[in-house]
Structure 1
């Protein structure tokens, strides 16, 4: 995997994990108070910085797994059980 592909895969992993992490720990404001933006259902304390940190940690682990899988011979389309038969 080249560095451009690695960066793009990391970006996609990070973005996907961010959307998976965002709902954790959210308690919506039932009254719609002015402090939470005035909307019912808006989180009282979104804790964005901690979610960004957790997203980065989890995305790094996921990206490491993807990198290992792509660079290993376990999953290869050139040779092995996934390779196409020569004509």
Structure 2
């Protein structure tokens, strides 16, 4: 497995985990009763915690990539035809 494949797997895993993390812990303006400015959408998040979510996403994507690498390079699972 070359480095380009590992990087591609990491990038795809990062974006998938990031999109899964986005709705976690979100409270809208109406749920928090925090109508701060005129013209703000009532469904807009009060505090999206993007820095925290980016750090968690980076760690989880790294774990998934390492797991994929070891699974792909080991002979635990193979899609090749058995040799006879």
Shorter-chain TM band: 0.7 to 0.9
Corresponding position of 2:37: 34
Matched, 1:72 2:47: no
- Unpaired segments of 5 or more residues in structure 1? none
Greater displacement, 37-46 / 15-24: 37-46
Query: Matched residues in 2 for 1:71 and 1:34: separation?
Result: 54
Give 1:3's aligned residue: 3
Considering Cα pairs closer than 8 Å and 6+ residues apart, tell me whether 1 or 2 has the greater RCO: 2
Is the partner of 1:34 in helix, strand or coil?
coil
- In 2: Cα distance, 1:16 partner to 1:62 partner: 11
Runs of 4+ more than 3 Å apart: none
Instruction: Give the structure-1-normalised TM-score.
Output: 0.81
RMSD of the TM alignment (CA)? 2.2
Map of 1:14 onto structure 2: 14
